[in-house]
Chain A
Amino acid sequence: MSESFAFLSDMVDYGPQILNGLINTLLLAGTISVTGLFAGILIFRLTLSENRFIRKSTASYISFFIGTPLIVLLFLMYYGLPQWGIKLSPFAIAAIGFTLNIAAYNSRYLSAAYNGIDQQQLMAASAQGFSSRQIFSLIILPQTLRRAIPGLTNQVALNIKDSSIAFLIQYVDFFAQMQEQASLNFQYLKVYAVTGAIYLLLVSLVIFGSKRLETRYAIPH
């Protein structure tokens, strides 16, 4: 009983730092979810290019980032770039690294959604006189985004969880703060259980939001 009380009081004492960590986690996850979405759309657009070289390069980009562990890229930038005199903050490195990585995954979700759309309507749009840019923004993107909601929001959930590896490049996020907490009071079990529960809560919120979006924006079929 008193032990639980001590744990709680530790958490309260340490509250401001934990809250700060939580804010940093949400800041990073929020940033990379937005930049990763836009970059993913860009990569997806390039996969549809009429230029063969652009299509090939884009395919290589996607294979590279899906095939390489993100932590390698983060370490490369964190430890490698300073050797060239480029020093970026942990947040900047994490934001760049995650964005490059997430863009590859998001473009995959969009491509899969694209493969499912009725191609004849794209020809109809050409026949009507729309430019390829208009066809992309008026037909392809609205439909692929809506069809890809499950994948894209799943990626947001992953972003929240995966952003915790940024602590390895000294980004002080929620996980880093909780780890600090555990190392101070040795209550590993409780601290990590609480940590897990809070990630679970955040992810559940995203999944809840995802279901709402899916219902709201489903293309009637």
Chain B
Amino acid sequence: MTLLQVRNLTKNYDGIGILNGVNFSLHEGEIKVVMGPSGCGKTTLLRCLNRLVEPSSGEIIFDDKDITAADVDIRQVRQRIGFVFQNFALYRHLSALENVKLGLRKLRGLSDAEATQRAIYELSHVEMQDHQDKYPAHLSGGQQQRVAIARALAMDPAVLFFDEPTSALDPLMAREIANLLNRLHAEKVTILCVTHDVTLAKNLPGDVLFLNHGHVEAEAPISELMQNHASENVRAFFEEKAPNA
């Protein structure tokens, strides 16, 4: 079933088109990767999809409803979209456990005991139970990211968005996040992952949406994109990123 369908999405900043009519869909349980050169609008696209950035025009059909409509309670929609930021964006004054608990307590209305139980479950799921009382500042990048994932998963999201999940990690950690994404995919979590990391993209199943100058230039498995693709921009991107691949 189609969970998310994007139609003719545009975003202008001061009259300059950043997204120029983006179309794609995401099915339940699917993992889709969004790639493209730096500055092509990947982050903007992700932020438009839950209206952290207000799209200029177009439709975003989420669960059969156009969430760009005026009468939509966007906060309810956002609660169903887990968002893992590039720099993880943990709440700095809260421990790992409290980071996961906050939404459960204040948005879901769980009791303290229920929220604690659920948060510990989610932290264990990403192997962070031993670090639950640490503050973000005392966790490595990879650990912060796991807490951010646990925080998102605790809300039972219909989909998880990742913005450049490997960009703030060392290569070893980057490999681990690929494993984690695959595990989540195996558990039927729907994932939309923005990245310019070819290694990560190669390690994920599912199609790659190639974004260039604010529109979808190609959509295909990465193996196809990397083999002498018809689009010159696609070829240029992969030649530059992985000349020997």
- For window 67-110 of B, CB contacts with A under 8 Å fall at 75-79, 81, 83, 85, 87, 89-93, 102-103, 106-107
In contact, B91 and A129 (Cβ under 8 angstroms) = no
- A124 surroundings in chain B (CB, below 8 A): 83, 85, 89-91, 148
Asked, given contacts A128-B155, A220-B137, whether A118 binds B78 with beta carbons under 8 Å apart, the answer is no
Asked, given contacts A127-B52, A221-B137, whether A117 binds B106 with beta carbons under 8 Å apart, the answer is no
- A130 surroundings in chain B (CB, below 8 A): 75, 103, 106-107
Q: Closest chain B residue to A146 by CB distance?
A: B93
In contact, B91 and A121 (Cβ under 8 angstroms) = yes
In contact, B83 and A118 (Cβ under 8 angstroms) = no
Q: Does A126 contact B (CB under 8 A)?
A: yes
Interface size on B, residues (CB 8 A): 28
What's the interface size class on A, roughly? 20 to 34
Q: How far is the CA of A117 from the CA of B137 in the complex (A)?
A: 13
Q: From residue A137, how far is it (CB to closest CB) to chain B in Å?
A: 9
Q: Does A138 contact B (CB under 8 A)?
A: yes
Q: How far is the CA of A134 from the CA of B106 in the complex (A)?
A: 8
In contact, A127 and B81 (Cβ under 8 angstroms) = yes
Asked, given contacts A129-B103, A142-B93, A146-B93, whether A120 binds B85 with beta carbons under 8 Å apart, the answer is yes
Q: How far is the CA of A128 from the CA of B81 in the complex (A)?
A: 8
Q: How far is the CA of A118 from the CA of B148 in the complex (A)?
A: 15
> Chain A 124-150 against B: per-residue CB contact (8 Å), 1 yes, 0 no?
111111110010001100110010000
Q: From residue A32, how far is it (CB to closest CB) to chain B in Å?
A: 28
In contact, B78 and A127 (Cβ under 8 angstroms) = yes
Q: Does B175 contact A (CB under 8 A)?
A: no
- For window 5-26 of B, CB contacts with A under 8 Å fall at none
In contact, A120 and B89 (Cβ under 8 angstroms) = yes
In contact, B90 and A121 (Cβ under 8 angstroms) = yes
> Chain A 192-221 against B: per-residue CB contact (8 Å), 1 yes, 0 no?
000000000000000000000000000111
- A131 surroundings in chain B (CB, below 8 A): 75
Q: Does A23 contact B (CB under 8 A)?
A: no
Choose among A120, A121, A129, A220 the residue that contacts B138 (Cβ–Cβ < 8 A).
Answer: A220
Q: Does A123 contact B (CB under 8 A)?
A: yes
Asked, given contacts A120-B87, A138-B102, A220-B138, whether A126 binds B78 with beta carbons under 8 Å apart, the answer is yes
Q: How far is the CA of A221 from the CA of B151 in the complex (A)?
A: 20
In contact, A126 and B52 (Cβ under 8 angstroms) = yes
- For window 131-182 of B, CB contacts with A under 8 Å fall at 135-138, 148, 151-152, 155
Q: Closest chain A residue to B46 by CB distance?
A: A127
In contact, A125 and B85 (Cβ under 8 angstroms) = no
Q: How far is the CA of A138 from the CA of B138 in the complex (A)?
A: 21
Q: Does B50 contact A (CB under 8 A)?
A: yes
Q: How far is the CA of A131 from the CA of B32 in the complex (A)?
A: 29
Q: How far is the CA of A27 from the CA of B21 in the complex (A)?
A: 65
Q: How far is the CA of A142 from the CA of B93 in the complex (A)?
A: 8
Q: How far is the CA of A123 from the CA of B85 in the complex (A)?
A: 9
Among A126, A127, A221: residue with most chain B CB under 10 A: A127
Q: How far is the CA of A124 from the CA of B82 in the complex (A)?
A: 10
Give me the 5 closest cross-chain CB pairs, A-B, nearest first.
A129-B79, A124-B89, A220-B135, A127-B83, A129-B78
Q: List 21 A-B contacts (CB under 8 A).
A: A118-B92, A121-B89, A121-B90, A123-B85, A123-B89, A124-B148, A126-B78, A127-B85, A128-B78, A128-B103, A128-B152, A129-B75, A129-B107, A129-B155, A130-B103, A130-B106, A130-B107, A139-B93, A146-B93, A219-B92, A220-B138
